[in-house]
Homo-oligomer: A and B are copies of this chain.
């Protein structure tokens, strides 16, 4: 079967057939709009992301099912970072007429598997031709109990800075691949199949525990930089405190300079959040509930103190915080 035989509406029907029923979905794919019910007493939280071939991924290096899963993960991760729970997604795709149908099917398979995993429902989207690159745009809607959302702007001096999971695994996998080496299965999976921390984000929001939160897409320092900018504070990060996986520690023993990947490597999709000292006692229960380690990596400091890193040898330095910027240089 080829795309030209299936046609636009045949392709949409194929996607529709794989969508499971979802709570709150009054009307899903197939009309001018989706119609949805939010849980009573909740606010709507929405985010959107675009992924473009040759910029965000290269087809020859990318498994299409992984890309489908990742398209869901990066979006629900943003809802988690607000302390919300994701519910509904919209998927818009642009691809050339000659695009292999198997590649599309594989992408959709991964996308819908991730929807089941995160308990979110695909309720709409758009399908159109592209003159070249494969273009993916995903929007996710979630909800948060009214007033319980967590912004980037609430960190206060003295707050502890926490990260979930382990840091730098995705960047280390990419580093090894770029050097022609083979990352171990754990590292590879962290890179190609990142897990958004949706249960953790919802639990933190529900308990109103963090003063500020963001998800780690651009790297610890760059994303902490966003919190500092929005909160008008400084921070001290301690290399000794960085939560590292056994695979990462093994690599670090051979090449100590790889610590920069835990500080500045992107795409971990862990949550980074700040907590007032009196709320730190509530974290162990949340960590158990989400089955994830939560580790303090530093502390928020006074406005004007900037972002400072204390290296393993006790010396301190001011890192460049610039994350990825699509149009610089």
User: Which residues of A does B touch, CB under 8 Å?
Assistant: 3-4, 6-9, 11, 26-27, 30-38, 43-50, 52-56, 78-79, 81-82, 84, 88, 90, 92-94, 97, 123-133, 135, 137, 139, 141-142, 144, 146, 149, 151-153, 213-215, 230, 325-329
Compute how far the CA of A328 lies from the CA of B52 in the bound complex, rounded to whole angstroms: 24
Contacts of A54 in B (CB 8 A): 131
Let me know if A55 and B137 touch, CB within 8 A.
Answer: no
Nearest CB of B to A157, in Å: 21
Let me know if A48 and B90 touch, CB within 8 A.
Answer: yes
Q: Which residue of B lies closest to A139 (CB)?
A: B139
Compute how far the CA of A249 lies from the CA of B24 in the bound complex, rounded to whole angstroms: 48
Compute how far the CA of A33 lies from the CA of B56 in the bound complex, rounded to whole angstroms: 21
Contacts of A139 in B (CB 8 A): 46, 48, 90, 139
Compute how far the CA of A11 lies from the CA of B325 in the bound complex, rounded to whole angstroms: 11
Let me know if A327 and B8 touch, CB within 8 A.
Answer: yes
Let me know if B33 and A82 touch, CB within 8 A.
Answer: yes
Let me know if A48 and B137 touch, CB within 8 A.
Answer: yes
Let me know if A32 and B128 touch, CB within 8 A.
Answer: no
